[in-house]
């Protein structure tokens, strides 16, 4: 068991390293730099900024500095706002955690209820409707569903604002995040109840 855990941890570390390397070198393969489009900056200023952010060093050196900063938790500052990336992430995380928590609660509650109904009405109309939609939402990716919901309810019908900090703006993201796990929990609950009922 211990060897298996160590093997999985090492595999995860290698995977993260490969993803970081691909992302880093792919970004460097794009022509230009982060300051090239700043028309008001002089060549001397651009050179100073490149030196400050280690962009004047060889790409391999930049990569190892990048990995060192990630490991030590130093994500640097935003080139756009000048704020620390760590601060920006921490501010946004609370919103993401709240959305995830609400979506998980909705998915579990609705999934268990629908799964129970489907099991108790086996091979009847409610069961068939629930099975159809649970299969459908298992197959539809969350980002596709989110785009469709935004298009219909925000742009076409204008029922929910596209951008706002109100509680109303949690509706569409929660639905988008909850649908797939809700569909899975529905099918799992139905299967478990049918096994229990014999």
Q: Which residues contact 108 (CB under 8 A, 6 or more apart)?
A: 181, 185
pLDDT at 38 over 60: no
More confident residue, 50 or 59: 59
Residue 34 within any structural domain of the chain: yes
Q: Which residues contact 69 (CB under 8 A, 6 or more apart)?
A: 75, 76
User: Which residue do the tokens 């080139």 mark?
Assistant: 79
Question: Looking at the structure, do residues 94 and 24 belong to the same domain, yes or no?
Answer: no
Question: Looking at the structure, do residues 98 and 185 belong to the same domain, yes or no?
Answer: yes
Question: Looking at the structure, do residues 118 and 183 belong to the same domain, yes or no?
Answer: yes
Question: Looking at the structure, do residues 114 and 191 belong to the same domain, yes or no?
Answer: yes
Residue 95 within any structural domain of the chain: yes
Residue 104 vs residues 63, 67, 183: alpha-carbon distances, Å: 37, 33, 12
Share of the chain above pLDDT 90, in %: 22
Structure tokens at 106: 């909705």
At residue 43, the pLDDT reads: 72
pLDDT one-digit tens code per residue, 136-181: 988 888 888 888 888 888 888 878 777 766 777 788 889 999 999 9
pLDDT at 103 over 90: yes
Residue 11 belongs to domain spanning? 2-74
Question: Looking at the structure, do residues 144 and 93 belong to the same domain, yes or no?
Answer: yes
């Amino acid at each position: 068991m211990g060897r298996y855990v160590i093997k999985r941890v090492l595999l995860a570390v290698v995977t993260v390293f490969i993803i970081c390397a691909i992302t880093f070198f792919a970004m460097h393969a794009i022509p230009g730099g982060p300051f090239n489009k700043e028309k008001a900056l002089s060549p001397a200023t651009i050179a100073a900024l490149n030196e400050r952010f280690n962009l004047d060093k060889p790409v391999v050196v930049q990569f190892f500095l990048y990995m060192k900063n990630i490991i030590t938790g130093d994500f640097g500052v935003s080139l756009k706002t000048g704020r620390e990336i760590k601060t920006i992430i921490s501010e946004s995380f609370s919103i993401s955690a709240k959305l995830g928590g609400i979506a998980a609660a909705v998915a579990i509650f609705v999934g268990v209820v629908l799964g129970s109904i489907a099991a108790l009405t086996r091979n009847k109309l409610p069961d068939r409707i629930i099975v159809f939609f649970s299969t459908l939402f298992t197959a539809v990716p969350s980002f596709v569903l989110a785009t469709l919901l935004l298009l219909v309810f925000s742009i076409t019908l204008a029922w929910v604002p596209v951008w706002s900090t109100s509680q109303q703006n949690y509706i569409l993201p929660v639905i988008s995040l909850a649908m797939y796990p809700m569909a899975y929990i529905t099918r799992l609950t139905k299967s478990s109840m049918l096994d229990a009922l014999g």
